[in-house]
Structure 1
Amino acid sequence: MKISPAAGKPADPSMLVNIPRLITAYYAQQPDVSVPAQKVAFGTSGHRGSSLTNSFNEWHILAITQAICLYRKLNKIEGPLFLGIDTHALSE
């Protein structure tokens, strides 16, 4: 594996994500259901995407929550549901 020349050095500001822009995109944009790249997608550690590419935002969380509730209702699953949280910028 090739080691990046930036390894061990402070990140150049051009490499950093603009957090206010990320948060604004999360709440302001609506995904287009006809665009596959903007649909809900899961990886090995959960939902995947970025609010900057319209592939992870409040609409996705609402759809996932609705699907979980419907699944639990249809399968008569009662009791608590435990969800995890990570430390990414949009986790709060």
Structure 2
Amino acid sequence: MTNSPKKRTTKKDQLIKLLGTKSGNDIKSLSAKLGWQQHTTRAAMSGLRKAGFEVVNEKPANGGISKYRIVSSPAMPQGTTAVVEAHGA
């Protein structure tokens, strides 16, 4: 009997999960949860966009805090599963 190694959860994986929620997250809370400075969080989101994720910035009409979320993920090769499901706007 062999034990399969557990996949390590990276900060990128954590960011994708946090941005994959319907309500999204603001920069301050994302940075706090990941232990990053805010400019690092923005740079990581830029990297996700370059990798094919559609990350949107939703600004509330009442002038509240902007929240970011992933609305679609890049096409995955056949046989793999998507990390994030697209949420309708």
Shared fold, TM over 0.5: no
CA radius of gyration, larger in: 1
Q: Which has the higher contact order (CA 8 A, sep 6+)?
A: 2
Instruction: Give the structure with the larger helix fraction.
Output: 1
Q: Give the TM-score, by structure 2 length.
A: 0.31
Q: Give the TM-score, by structure 1 length.
A: 0.30
Instruction: Give the structure with the larger strand fraction.
Output: 2
